[in-house]
Amino acid sequence: MKVLITGGYGFIGSHVAERFYKEDDEVFIIDNMETGDKHNISFKHKNYHLSVEDPNCEEIFKAIQFDVVVHLAAQVSVAKSFENPITDTESNIVGLVNMLTLSQKYKVKKFILASSAAVYGKNDQLPLLEENQCVPISPYGISKRVGELYCQKWSEMYGFESVCFRFSNVYGPRQNSNGEGGVVSIFINHMLEGKALQIYGDGEQTRDFIYVGDIADAIYRASHSSISGVYNLSTNKKTTINEVVSILKKMHDEVNIHFSPAREGDIDHSVLSNRKVMDDLDWSPIYDIELGLEKTYQWAVVDQAQKEVAVSVADQTEKAKEWTHIIQPFKAYLENLVVFLIIAWLVLSHRLSVFNATDISAFYIMIMGALYGSKQSILSVGLSIGLLIVEKLSEGREFVSLLYDTSFFFQVSLFLFIGLVVGYTVQRKTNRLQEQQQKIDELKQRYHFLGGIHTEVREIKDELQLRLLNTEDSFGKIYSIVKELDELEPEKVFSNAVQVVQQIMDAEDVSIYVFNKNQTFLRLVANTNFLETSHKNSMKVEDTGYIQNLLGTGGIFVNKELLPNTPIMAAPVYHNDQISAVIMIDRLNFQNVSLYHENLFKVTTELAGSALDKALSYIDAIEADRFIANTDVLKQDVFQKILESKREAREKYGMPYVVLEGENPDTDTDLGAYSTKLSALLRETDYIGQLDNHQVGVLLSNIHQNDVQFVLSRFYEKGIQMRLKEGEI
């Protein structure tokens, strides 16, 4: 089962989604993420980041044929509804109407609306029953009541099945601190944070607290039931605020309480009767207040610990990043300096035995240049030259004498040469590596970009495939339905064609009329609603304006002016490059009278017409084999197939027919003359054939029994004796 949950990332929505998922249903979520949290759901599902009032929601309904819609998305704060009633209306009324309309349009089997006890207002008739008067005192309560009325009206107008659950005060894991229903969440959060619990009034005000798990279970049960209408969803038990605090004290010893004056407008007592939902749904709440609060508290403790760990790790990571950011620019210089100090100590303390000072300095310059490039190699050269000067001076040399010492200049030159060559070489390599890394990064970005596009295209492809397979007016469904037209008997094609057009166009009335040879008359050959509507069995072309229009243009006729006694749409069917029949639809939903459905009708009738043209061409090709030689009498097997098609059309649509039986002439010559005589008295839609008893039969299409006597009398006047064999209506 495919279930759409609006507001599915919210407190209640996530529990409802989890309940359906555990039952192996496919879960889809629409959420604008204003209050929802994706971390509330960890299982596989499909989500859409949209507001419920967004027109783009229709694309989702088109692509996926939902079985159940659970509408939980709403603005839930009573205080905010006073501050901004327009926003409250957009979310709670406009959004609901959008979901309700789309659910009805796309054949959702069950629509479940989350309403609220706020619809009752200040009502002292406790416990509150569904039949009690609703006088909401807040814009939030008004919007919820209006939502219920919309569901009721949709049920009256369209027979659309919906359930409206009036929640009492819901609590449980994942609840935030918004709204009156969040009092449990507020208390537990304050307890864990060491804050005082704020109680307005004396704490003896009562509420009907219901655990969120019981809410999810009731919604799941309702999706598989036949109930509809308005139901309270509650425990039918009063619980004071002081009792809630007392239970929480048992779980958390140190609890400070602060009493404040009662808030204006607060309801003192509230409890909803759940007798109706218990009787009709066979449901009852499982969690009492003690067990529900214990589970909520345990979850909150774990959640807070996880948040604290996450915050601590994030702080440590951030500090480490800051310290690293400060040290990083000076890291190479510090390492260079440490290495130089070690070398200086070795040189000046005369601890070198294998290498002399020049060798170790040259090696030091090479290492620094190889590791860090030209900057550090030049710095190493400078430090090495300084160390060389200090070493010479420590041996008793004068600084001026060094300016004339060729060995000193050779050593300095060696240091510079090594530093410049190694530094340049390494720097060049480093630059090339950086260029390559930059190219790699660019390619990675391009890869990620193309990967994102690929994923998006795959999702669109999958969605289009879903449309093709599931959407009522998709070409995928057209293709699957039109397979029924894969017949070679025209009468069978007529019967199936009206069914195909009816299913695709969602029209109550579909008819097919065929022209006579000179296109002056049309005869009715198939209709989907024959018994409930009156149809002309034949029409004269010169008396029918829209048929003349259709013959003149050769295209689809659309009754845009809503002319009386005229179908909504009519399309020609061609055979041998000539209009041979007309497909008409009537009693179409007004919302389907559009250019889109006009094009859909054109495609559908072309496919049906193609099937009929193929069947007629086949009949033309084998016509000689269908008749007894030199007669107009169909062979027994051919006549029986046509008769079976007529029987099927009568069973499906109530299309009447009559079979008359006559006597066979003595010779084939007499049979040919006899059949010619019969043909002159019949219409284009009637047939002469051999019955299973080898007698000659006449099949009269679309004729009532009260007209049979008139036909028999006509035959009698021409010397033809016949009797009724089959055709009760």
Could you read off the pLDDT of 479-524 as tens digits, one per residue? 555 555 666 777 788 888 888 888 777 788 888 888 888 888 888 8
CATH architecture of 626-726: 2-Layer Sandwich (3.30)
Interatomic CA distance for residues 447 and 387, integer angstroms = 52
**Segment of 271-285, 643-657, 694-708 carrying the highest mean pLDDT:** 271-285
140 is annotated as an active-site residue: yes
Residues 160 and 150: beta-carbon distance below 8 Å: no
Interatomic CA distance for residues 283 and 221, integer angstroms = 8
Interatomic CA distance for residues 522 and 44, integer angstroms = 58
639: β partners: none
Same topology between domain 2-168+208-235+271-285 and domain 626-726: no
Interatomic CA distance for residues 284 and 258, integer angstroms = 35
- Characterize the bridge pairing of strands 239-240 and 521-527: unpaired
Paired tokens of 236: 């039918």
- Characterize the bridge pairing of strands 46-48 and 239-240: unpaired
Interatomic CA distance for residues 19 and 212, integer angstroms = 11
Angle between helices 636-653 and 490-505 (to 10 degrees): 20
Interatomic CA distance for residues 684 and 525, integer angstroms = 10
270 pLDDT higher than 70? yes
Say what the pLDDT of residue 473 is. 45
**Segment of 223-237, 321-335, 667-681, 695-709 carrying the highest mean pLDDT:** 223-237
pLDDT category at 464 given cuts 50, 70, 90 is very low
State the maximum Cα–Cα separation within the chain, in Å, rounded to a whole number.
155
What's the whole-number average pLDDT of the chain? 83
String of DSSP letters for 668-699: HHHHHHHHHHHHTTS-TT-EEEE-TTS-EEEE
Q: 657-709 pLDDT, tens per residue?
A: 888 888 777 665 678 888 888 888 888 788 898 888 888 888 888 877 677 88
Neighbour tally for 110: CB within 10 Å: 23
Q: 25-47 pLDDT, tens per residue?
A: 999 999 998 888 898 998 889 98
**In 373-405, where does DSSP find H-type helix?**
374-394, 399-402
Where do the domains of the chain lie?
2-168+208-235+271-285, 176-205+237-268+288-325, 352-444, 476-621, 626-726
For 74-88, give one letter per residue: b (16+ CB within 10 A) or e. bbbbbebbeeebeeb
Interatomic CA distance for residues 411 and 63, integer angstroms = 81
43-57 average pLDDT score: 90
Comparing CA positions, the residue from 237, 232, 248 lying closest to residue 199 is 248
Q: What residue type is assigned to position 243 of the chain?
A: E
Q: 363-372 pLDDT, tens per residue?
A: 888 888 788 7
Say what the pLDDT of residue 11 is. 93
What 585-590 contacts at long range (C-beta under 8 Å, 24+ apart), as own/partner pairs, is 585/501, 585/502, 585/505, 585/507, 585/509, 585/510, 585/511, 586/507, 586/508, 586/509, 586/510, 586/511, 587/507, 587/508, 587/509, 587/529, 587/533, 588/505, 588/506, 588/507, 588/508, 589/506
For 407-439, give one letter per residue: b (16+ CB within 10 A) or e. ebeebbebbbebbbebbeebbeeeeeeeeeeee
347 pLDDT higher than 80? no
Comparing CA positions, the residue from 230, 104, 100, 99 lying closest to residue 159 is 104
471 pLDDT higher than 50? no
Residues 212 and 11: beta-carbon distance below 8 Å: yes
CATH of domain 176-205+237-268+288-325: 3.90.25.10
**Segment of 33-37, 348-352, 561-565 carrying the highest mean pLDDT:** 33-37
Interatomic CA distance for residues 489 and 107, integer angstroms = 34
Paired tokens of 222: 């309702």
Interatomic CA distance for residues 30 and 9, integer angstroms = 8
Q: Which fold, 2-168+208-235+271-285?
A: Rossmann fold (3.40.50)
Angle at 549 between CA 547 and CA 552, to 5 degrees: 110
* Weakest-pLDDT range from 49-53, 72-76, 651-655, 671-675: 651-655
Paired tokens of 336: 């260079």
Residues 6+ apart with CB under 8 A from 335: none
Comparing CA positions, the residue from 279, 314, 287 lying closest to residue 209 is 287
Interatomic CA distance for residues 662 and 645, integer angstroms = 22
179 pLDDT higher than 50? no
Distances in Å between the Cα of 76 and the Cα atoms of 138, 140, 211 are 11, 7, 17
pLDDT category at 110 given cuts 50, 70, 90 is very high
- Characterize the bridge pairing of strands 68-71 and 110-116: parallel
Comparing CA positions, the residue from 153, 133, 154, 162 lying closest to residue 231 is 162
Paired tokens of 692: 């299973």
Q: Which fold, 476-621?
A: Beta-Lactamase (3.30.450)
**Among 9, 106, 120, 140, the one annotated catalytic:** 140
Compute the CA torsion angle 419, 420, 423, 429 (nearest 10 deg).
-150
* Weakest-pLDDT range from 80-89, 389-398, 591-600: 591-600
What 116-120 contacts at long range (C-beta under 8 Å, 24+ apart), as own/partner pairs, is 116/140, 116/141, 116/144, 116/166, 116/167, 117/166, 117/167, 117/168, 117/169, 117/208, 117/232, 117/234, 117/270, 117/272, 118/78, 118/144, 119/144, 119/145, 119/148, 119/166
Q: 389-403 pLDDT, tens per residue?
A: 887 788 777 877 777
Question: Residue 707 belongs to what H/E stretch?
Answer: none
Comparing CA positions, the residue from 444, 437, 487, 446 lying closest to residue 649 is 487
